[in-house]
Amino acid sequence: MRPLLHPAIEDVRPEAILHALADPSRAAIFATIMRAGCIEACSALAAVGDRVIPKSSLSNHFKVLREAGLIRSERHGVEVRNVSRWAEVEARFPGLLPGIINAYAACVGSDPQGADTVAPP
């Protein structure tokens, strides 16, 4: 199995974060992981609103989030656990993540998964 690549926090770039969160599905996935702390089953995030994301697309969304430095993915048997790197990213780029996630909330009346706003965990 190929190792999962995670950039060091010093290598995380704001343009990668902006690219990763430009997709509303990825923003919703990240917001859910961030609020939950750790998501053990990737399939738990397959439904975004009334739409189901195919497994291949879901895998790509996780890859983009991981390579942008937003999540850490760890293999545990056949499952991959995803953990938010919110605190690390927030320390490096203060206010960036709440600004992006809360902008989605303002556009749709609630954030991508239904909460009104996002505060740091």
Q: Where are the domains of the chain?
A: 11-108
Dihedral of CA 7/65/81/87: which sign? positive
CATH hierarchy code of domain 11-108: 1.10.10.10
**Mean pLDDT computed over every residue of the chain:** 81
Q: What is the pTM of this model?
A: 0.80
pLDDT value for 49:
65
Q: Kindly report, residue by residue over 41-81, the tens digit of the pLDDT.
A: 666 666 666 777 788 888 899 999 999 999 998 887 777 88
Tracing tokens 């609020």 back to the chain, one arrives at 35
| Dihedral (Cα; 120, 116, 42, 96), 10-degree rounding | -40
Q: Which amino acid does the sequence have at 62? A: F
Give the confidence band of 115 by pLDDT, cuts at 50, 70, 90: very low
